[in-house]
Amino acid sequence: MRSVLLVARREFVGYWTTPVAYVVLVVFLMLSGIFFFGQLSEFVAASRAAQNTPVDVNQELVRPYLYSASVMLLFLLPLVSMRLVAEEIRLGTLEILLTSPLRESALSLGKYLASLGLLAVLLCGPLAHVLVLFIFGKPELAPILTGFLGLFLTGAAYLSLGLFISALTQNQIVAATSSFALFISLWLVHWLGENMHGVPARIFTYASFVDHFDSFGKGVLTTQDFIFYLSLIALGVYGATQAILSRRWKT
Amino acid sequence: MIEVIGLEKSYAGFPALKNISFTVPEGEVTGFLGPNGAGKTTTLRILSGFMPATQGTVRIDGLDVRERSRDVRRRVGYLPEDVPLYRDLTVEAFLAYLAGLKEVPRPRIQAEIERVVALTGLESVAKRLIAKISRGYRQRTGLAMAMLGDPPVLLLDEPTSGLDPNQVVEVRDLIRQLSGHKTVLLSSHILSEVAQITNRVLIINEGRLVASGTPRDLAGGMHLERRVRLRVRQGLSAEVWNEFPGIRALDPGDGSFALLLMENPERDLPLLARRVVSAGLDLLELHEEVSDLETIFRTATGAGDA
């Protein structure tokens, strides 16, 4: 465990020594601010139009906002995950890590924890936006918390798969592009599922983020959704560990 | 102690190491010589646990590298070729990170860093970013990294590469000091360096171990002529050695000095000494030079006729 935390700390600090973390943070905060402002404006307009009928702030503002945030993460998190292992391969520092007593699993887990740390920092932006709503109104807290949990798990699944892809190449551009393609595929398969019938439809729909993320947004926590996210996370970290192990054989 | 038995390594079917066997006894500094591309780095990478062999057995202090990889890695300090370092860290932060990964107990880390920094002469740059220090200091940082945790076995791949002449001398002295209490395998393609640091060499060429032993053993085994320096006060001429069929002049000198080649110094040296004295010359020096490593190396690697 000590080595996992050592790797995680080194990686997390390492993020802030390159411009990538700052760029991702600034772009995410800027875009999420714009989306929040747009969503809030629509909500205010809808409230005015509804006059005395109350408009559900969770349903009409928070849920679509978190959905937008998950799409932003889809574009930005490949930039966070691309360097995780690829950078070590490119610099040759993987050799010093793999000749220390460090386990391959500790290396991938440590790297993954560091990326989760950066994800947590990123999500502070949307969290601050949503907390502002409590100053002016009384949104329901539970769906907000589950929505953020869903957003965090979606980001965590992206990062885990991105970690795996990063362990397959030493080229960060290749890692980022491939990760983006994979993430977007995991959204688009839902559309494929909708246009199919029977078992393939169920498989494609289940494999997509759409329904699982939506459940969290509605405030519904199901074992099925947790299993989906946790399976993706475990798959990515395990895949990365195996990819690092296989590097020994390829060298 | 390092034991290598029947080591083979292939890259996509191409054999890089062919049936290599050798032993480095405990506490001995051994040189690992070979031209570029001979297989030195591949061998060291297998020994360090970085990659597996295709065939063969490697044991470090009795532990099989494949079966007890982590235990072996705990006992080995490895300096890779072209030392890869984190350029965004200071020397101290880098060593602290690696000390943690090498399982140095947390309360001992600072003292351990201070020890290796002092050993490798890194005090003046310890707080500087690795990106901002010279190549020589980076090489020393790599050496400090290898020594973290005081491992009993050190594998050093070209440890003096990139150092200036003064630094080379310092690093050589440091490695020489390790003799007796550390088992060191040191690769180099610089013959003179290995000759100065180690007393035993392994010579590898095209993936095969072509020679091993002390330079003296190797020269003897290869039946190489051995050099003898002869110095007198004055009056030296070829008549002194011409009567011995096993002696010829490499450099007949200027009347006070000659460099001779001897087939059998054990037999001819005393005879030559007597001849010099009986010729009435003042003998100042009669000294056999161990056949230089370059000759041994060129003979062992088949470049001797080039």
Q: Does B204 contact chain A (CB < 8 Å)?
A: no
| Domains of chain B with CATH codes | 2-219 (3.40.50.300), 225-290 (3.30.70)
- Entry pTM: 0.82
Task: Give pLDDT tens digits for A177-211.
Answer: 999 999 999 888 888 888 888 888 888 888 888 88
B-chain residues near A2 (CB < 8 A): 100
| Mutation target vs A (from B50, B69, B157; most A CBs, 10 A cutoff) | B50
By Cβ distance, the residue of A6, A7, A95 closest to B50 is A95
B-chain residues near A170 (CB < 8 A): none
By Cβ distance, the residue of B52, B74, B100 closest to A6 is B100
Task: Give pLDDT tens digits for B156-203.
Answer: 998 887 778 888 888 888 888 887 888 999 998 777 677 778 878 898
The answer to whether the Cβ–Cβ distance between A92 and B88 falls below 8 Å is no
Q: Could you give the CA distance from residue A157 to residue A155 in angstroms, rounded to a whole number?
A: 5
The rounded percent of chain A whose pLDDT value lies above 70 is 99
Say how many C-beta atoms besides its own lie within 10 A of residue A9's C-beta. 16
Q: How remote is the C-alpha of B64 from its chain's centroid?
A: 24
B-chain residues near A10 (CB < 8 A): 86, 97
ipTM for the complex?
Answer: 0.86
Q: Does B153 contact chain A (CB < 8 Å)?
A: no
The answer to whether the Cβ–Cβ distance between B101 and A248 falls below 8 Å is no
Q: Tell whether the model's pLDDT for residue A172 goes beyond 70.
A: yes
Q: Could you give the CA distance from residue A46 to residue A51 in angstroms, rounded to a whole number?
A: 9
- Cite the DSSP H helix spans in B86-226: 91-101, 109-119, 135-147, 165-178, 191-197, 215-221
Q: Does A20 contact chain B (CB < 8 Å)?
A: no
Q: Tell whether the model's pLDDT for residue A145 goes beyond 60.
A: yes
Say how many C-beta atoms besides its own lie within 10 A of residue A62's C-beta. 25
3-state percent helix, strand, coil for chain A, nearest multiple of 5: 85, 0, 15
Q: Does A142 contact chain B (CB < 8 Å)?
A: no
Confidence (pLDDT) at B89: 92
Q: Give the minimum alpha-carbon distance from A190 to chain B in angstroms, rounded to a whole number.
A: 41
Q: Could you give the CA distance from residue A173 to residue A171 in angstroms, rounded to a whole number?
A: 6
User: Taking CA atoms, what residue in B is nearest to A90?
Assistant: B84
The answer to whether the Cβ–Cβ distance between B51 and A3 falls below 8 Å is no
The rounded percent of chain A whose pLDDT value lies above 90 is 54
Angle between helices B165-178 and B135-147 (to 10 degrees): 10
Confidence (pLDDT) at B305: 42
Q: Could you give the CA distance from residue A217 to residue A62 in angstroms, rounded to a whole number?
A: 8
Q: Does A53 contact chain B (CB < 8 Å)?
A: no
B-chain residues near A99 (CB < 8 A): 48-50, 73, 76, 78, 80
Confidence (pLDDT) at A194: 81
In chain A, where the domains are located: 2-250
Edge-to-edge strand ranges of the sheet holding B55-60: B14-24, B2-11, B55-60, B63-64
B-chain residues near A96 (CB < 8 A): 78, 80, 84, 98, 145
pLDDT per residue rounded down to tens, chain B (306 residues)? 999 999 999 888 888 899 999 999 998 899 998 888 888 999 999 999 998 899 999 999 999 998 898 999 999 999 998 889 999 999 999 999 999 999 999 999 999 999 999 988 899 999 999 999 988 889 899 999 999 999 999 999 988 877 788 888 888 888 888 878 889 999 987 776 777 788 788 988 888 988 888 766 776 665 566 778 899 998 888 888 888 888 888 888 888 888 888 877 778 888 899 999 998 999 999 887 765 666 677 777 666 443
Say how many C-beta atoms besides its own lie within 10 A of residue B238's C-beta. 12
Q: Could you give the CA distance from residue A80 to residue A66 in angstroms, rounded to a whole number?
A: 20
Confidence (pLDDT) at B306: 34
By Cβ distance, the residue of B50, B52, B86 closest to A93 is B86
3-state percent helix, strand, coil for chain B, nearest multiple of 5: 35, 30, 35
Confidence (pLDDT) at B197: 81
Q: Give the minimum alpha-carbon distance from B108 to chain A in angstroms, rounded to a whole number.
A: 15
What integer best gives the mean pLDDT of chain A? Answer: 89
By DSSP bridging, strand B55-60 and strand B29-33 are unpaired
Q: Mean pLDDT throughout A27-49? A: 88
Q: Does A19 contact chain B (CB < 8 Å)?
A: no
Task: Give pLDDT tens digits for A64-116.
Answer: 898 899 999 999 999 999 999 999 999 999 999 999 999 999 999 999 999 99
The answer to whether the Cβ–Cβ distance between B102 and A2 falls below 8 Å is no
